[in-house]
Amino acid sequence: MPVDSRFAATDTDVIVVGAGFAGLYLAYRLSRAGYRLRVLEAAPDLGGTWYWNRYPGARVDVPSVDYMYSFDPDWQQDWQWSEKYATQPEILRYLHHVADKHDLRRHITCGTRVEQARWDEDNAVWHVCTGHDHDITARFLVMATGCLSVPKHVDIPGMERFAGEVYFTSRWPHDPVDFTGKRVAVIGTGSSGVQSIPMIARQAGRLVVFQRTPTFSVPAGNGPLPAQKLELLATDEAGYRQAARMSPAGVPMVRSQTPTFSVPAEERRQRYETAWEAGELLVLLNAFADVMSDREANEEFAEFIRGKIRAVVDDPQTASALCPTTYPVGSKRPCLDTGYYATYNLPYVRLVDVATDPIRGITETGIDTAAESFEFDALVFATGFDALTGALAAIDITGRDAVPLKDDWANGPATYLGLMTAGFPNLFLITGPGSPSVLSNMAVSIEQHVDWVVDCLTDLRAGGFEVIEPTKSAQTGWMRHVDDCAGMTLYACANSWYLGANVPGKPRVFMPYAGGVDFYRAACDEVVARDYLGFARSGSAGVRCNDGVVRRLQPDVQMLLEQMAAAGSPPLESMSADDARAFYALWRSALPPGPEVGEVVDGVLDGDGVELAYRLYRPPSAGPYPVVVYFHGGGCVLGDATTDDAFCRDLCARSDAIFISVDYRHAPETPFPAAVLDGMTAVRWAAANATELGGDPGRLAVCGWSAGGNIAAAVCQIARDAGAPEIVGQALVTPATDYDFTRKSYSDNADGYGLTTSAVRWLFGHYAREADRTDPRLAPLYAESLAGLPPAVVATAEFDPVRDEGDAYARALAAAGVATEHIRARGHTHDSLTLVGFVLSGAPVRAEIADALRRFLAAERLAIH
C-alpha cells in the first residue's frame, strides 16, 4: 500500500541493494515505517559479509555483544552468544534469526545483482537494472552494498596456470575444505590471513605464508562472554547501547585524554600491558590519547608490540620479518588473533617475506619467488578487498545530467556525511566514504545510518518533499572536515586499504571519517536539527535549499569547546579580577605539558628599576641561540610568565631559539601603558644580556599571543622609533591591534568560541580608558606609519572576536612594505593555537609560525656573519 499517492508512479518506494547487516535493518525500519520496498541481493542468500567470508577461523573482532543490533530489546529471550568473539557460522545464524523473527525475508530477492542505476530527472525516479528485471523504478535508492564486499582483483601473474585448488577467503566454498596433509600457500597477512593461518596450519602437511607487509596483531583472549559486559547489559541495556552510540568507535569507552609522554616510562609500560591483555582492538588504540597522532608515542607502543611478537616466535629471523616497522601501529587495521604468531614455531610452517623475496608469478604447480620455486596442492588468497568504493564502482550509476558516479569520484569519493553525494538525488549510502564506517564497530554505525535515512524519508514525506540532494558547498565543507580529521592522525603514513593504496590505480584518499562515532553522530543530528542544513529539497511543497556547512571548526577545537560548555564555567566578566586570575591559572595549569626542551630556568630580570619575573626555555641543541622575547596572553589582566608554558616549549623546540616569557605588570592595578613599557624593558634587557643567557646578540625577535601579541607589535614600533634594540622579527598570534568592537568578527564570534566579545570588553575596561584608544601603544594599528618594522608573521583564527583586527594589522603591515606572512587558521579559535598537546590541529600553524621565526632569525645571522 503506498503511503502517499506521489509514490504510486514507481514500482516501489525504496530499493535497497544488499542484504547484509545493513540491508536487513533497512528492511526492518522501512517496512515498519510503511514503505514499499525491495531488497536486492546478489548472493544466493542473506548475510552479506557473513555469507561470503566462510574461511576457517573467521570471527568478529569486536565483542559479539557489541557487534549486534540494538533495536530489539528482547533479544536475550531468544538469542545467546556462545563466546566473546563469535565465529562466522554463529553470526550468520544470528542474521537469519533476526530475519525470521522480524519477518524480513519477504522483502528480499536473492541471487539478483544490480548492474545499473539511472536517475531520471524528469520523473524523479531511479531506474534500477538487474540481471533479471530490466527496469525497476523507485523514488529512493539505498546502497547497502558493504564496505568490504568486493574482493580485490589478484594482481599476481599466472593465476590461470595453477592446476591445484584455489581459494579466496572472501569467497570461501560452502562445503568444508580439507587441507589434511596438503601443501598449502596462504598469500596475505591482513585480518583474514591472520585468522585463517592458524586454522589451516592445524590440517596442512606444509604451510607457506607469503607476507608482503607484516601486521600488528593482538591475541583475542577469546572465551566466555566478558562478565562485566554481561552485567552492564543485564542491569541497563538501554544505557549500555546509548553509551556505544555516543562513544568514539561504537563500543562504550571513554576517549583517553592522557598523552603518552605525560606519564613515566613504568606507567606507560603498565598501560600498554593492560591494553594488550584486554584483547580488544578499540581498547588497544585508546591506550593513550596520542597513539594515533604522535609518531614518537606511536613508535614506543609499536616497539612494545614488537617485543610481544619476538617473545612468542622462536626463530629470530622469522620474528624480525613478522615485526612491522614501515608504518605506525593502527594506521593499517590491526588484527585480532588466536595463536597467530605461535603458528610460525611449527616445524612445517614457513614465512616467506615477499618484500625481500618478491613473488615472480604463479606456475602450474605453485609459486615462484625471485629466489625460490615452491610447489603446492592449494593456494589460499587472503588478499583483501576493493574497500569502501568497490561495490559502488561495480554498478553503473548515473546521476543528474547522466553523470556517472565513477567519473564524479575519479579523484576519490566525495560525499556529504558519507550519506549522500551531490548530483545523485535520492541516492543514499550506508556507511559510505566520509562516515566512520570501517573505523568503528560497524553494527553501531550501520544502525545510525539506517535510522538517519529512514527518518529523513519520513521527514521528507511530512514536509511535502520528494527529492533530496546535498549542495556542493555542504559536501565540500564536509570533505574538508573529513580531511582535517584524517590530517590529525597518522593514517596517511601507511599504504592501507583505508587510502585505497591496496588497489593499483585507485586514487589515494583517506576515505573514512576519523573524528569518531560520537562527533559524527552529533554532526548528523545537527544537520537535521538545523532543517537539513546543506541539503536542497523539492516536491509538492516547493523547493527549499538550506545551504551551509555543518562542521567549520577543527574537530579537536570542537571537542574542546563542547567540553568547556559541558563544564559550565562562569564567564570571566562575572568574576573579580583576582578570581578570574585564579580561575585562568587553574585552567592553564591543567593543560597537557608541551614538549621537552633543553632547559627551563625561572628568573627575575631587573631593568630600568622594574623587576619582572620570567621563564626561559633553552633548546636542546648546542647554542648560541637566537632569542625570542615572548609576551603571554590574558588581556593584560590575567596570566603570567608560566601560563603559556606548553606554547613556549613548543615554539622553542620548533624554532630552535631561546624563548623568554616575561611577566609584565597587569591591570587593573597597573593599567595601560605599564604592560607595554614592561615589554620594552624586557626587550632591552634581553638584548643587553643575550650573551650571558646563551643567546646570539643581534638575533632578537618578539612573539606574543592575544594581548601579548598586542604588546609585541607595540614594542616593535617603539624600538623602531628609538632606533634600538634591533628586533629582527615579530610573531603575532591572534593579536589585538585596535580593540575596535564594531568589527564584524566581534559580532560573528561573539559567543561560543572560548573568548567572548563581552570578555574582551571586560578585559579592555580593566586595562585602558576610552581616551587611550588611538594611542598606538594600545592600538598599534593607529601608528602613523608601519614602514620599517621588522618582518612579521601574523596568525589569526577564524572563530575569534579579535580576528578582524589581526587581519587588518597583517594587511596594513604588508601595505607598508613590511615582509608579512599572514596565516589564517581555519577552524581555530582565539585560544586553540596555543593549546599544545590538546589541539593537535594547531600543530601545523605553530610549525608555520616557528618556521617564520627561524627564517627571520637565520636571515639576520647570515647578514651578521
Binding region for ligand NAP (CB under 6 A)? 59-61, 148, 155-156, 187-193, 195, 210, 212-213, 333, 336, 354, 359, 382-385, 438, 497, 502
Is the CB of 282 or the CB of 667 nearer to ligand FAD?
A: 282
Report the C-alpha gap between 253 and 236 in whole angstroms. Answer: 16
CB of 432 to ligand FAD, least distance (A): 10
Spatial CA neighbour of 52 closest among 115, 146, 162: 146
Residue 28: contacted member of ligand FAD, ligand NAP, none (CB under 5 to 8 Å, by partner type): none
Spatial CA neighbour of 294 closest among 840, 834, 833: 840
CB of 524 to ligand FAD, least distance (A): 17
Full DSSP string of 181-202: T-EEEEE--SHHHHHHHHHHHH
Residue 842: contacted member of ligand NAP, ligand FAD, none (CB under 5 to 8 Å, by partner type): none
CB of 837 to ligand FAD, least distance (A): 30
With CB atoms as reference, the residue minimizing the distance to ligand NAP is: 190
CB of 48 to ligand FAD, least distance (A): 2
Residue 354: contacted member of ligand NAP, ligand FAD, none (CB under 5 to 8 Å, by partner type): ligand NAP
Is the CB of 369 or the CB of 643 nearer to ligand NAP?
A: 369
Cis peptide leading into residue 668 (ω within 30°)? yes
CB of 441 to ligand FAD, least distance (A): 5
Q: CA of 860: how far to CAs of 682, 696, 704, in Å?
A: 21, 11, 20
Q: Which residue is listed with cell 529512514?
A: 454
Residue 413: contacted member of ligand FAD, ligand NAP, none (CB under 5 to 8 Å, by partner type): none
Is the CB of 51 or the CB of 341 nearer to ligand FAD?
A: 51
Residue 442: contacted member of ligand NAP, ligand FAD, none (CB under 5 to 8 Å, by partner type): ligand FAD
Contact 711, 719 (CB under 8 A): no
Residue 812 CB: number of other CB atoms within 10 A? 17
Contact 365, 169 (CB under 8 A): no
Is the CB of 379 or the CB of 444 nearer to ligand FAD?
A: 444
Residue 829: contacted member of ligand NAP, ligand FAD, none (CB under 5 to 8 Å, by partner type): none
CB of 302 to ligand NAP, least distance (A): 16
Is the CB of 389 or the CB of 558 nearer to ligand FAD?
A: 389
CB of 622 to ligand NAP, least distance (A): 42
Contact 425, 468 (CB under 8 A): yes
Residue 497: contacted member of ligand FAD, ligand NAP, none (CB under 5 to 8 Å, by partner type): ligand NAP
Report the C-alpha gap between 617 and 693 in whole angstroms. Answer: 10
Is the CB of 22 or the CB of 616 nearer to ligand FAD?
A: 22
Q: CA of 101: how far to CAs of 49, 72, 93, 95, in Å?
A: 20, 10, 12, 10
Residue 446: contacted member of ligand NAP, ligand FAD, none (CB under 5 to 8 Å, by partner type): ligand FAD
CB of 497 to ligand NAP, least distance (A): 5
Report the C-alpha gap between 721 and 184 in whole angstroms. Answer: 82
Residue 149: contacted member of ligand FAD, ligand NAP, none (CB under 5 to 8 Å, by partner type): ligand FAD
CB of 391 to ligand FAD, least distance (A): 4
Q: Which residue is listed with cell 549486534?
A: 68
Helices 21-32/88-101 angle, 10° precision: 10
Contact 844, 766 (CB under 8 A): no
SS3 407: helix
b/e per residue 618-640 (b: at least 16 CB within 10 A): bbeeeeebbbbbbbbbbbbbbbb
State how beta strands 125-130 and 136-143 pair: antiparallel
Is the CB of 310 or the CB of 406 nearer to ligand FAD?
A: 406
Residue ranges in contact with ligand FAD by CB under 6 A: 17-23, 40-43, 48-49, 51, 53, 58, 60-62, 67, 113-114, 144-149, 192, 391, 394-395, 430-431, 441-442, 446
Contact 215, 194 (CB under 8 A): yes
CB of 172 to ligand NAP, least distance (A): 11
Report the C-alpha gap between 197 and 202 in whole angstroms. Answer: 9
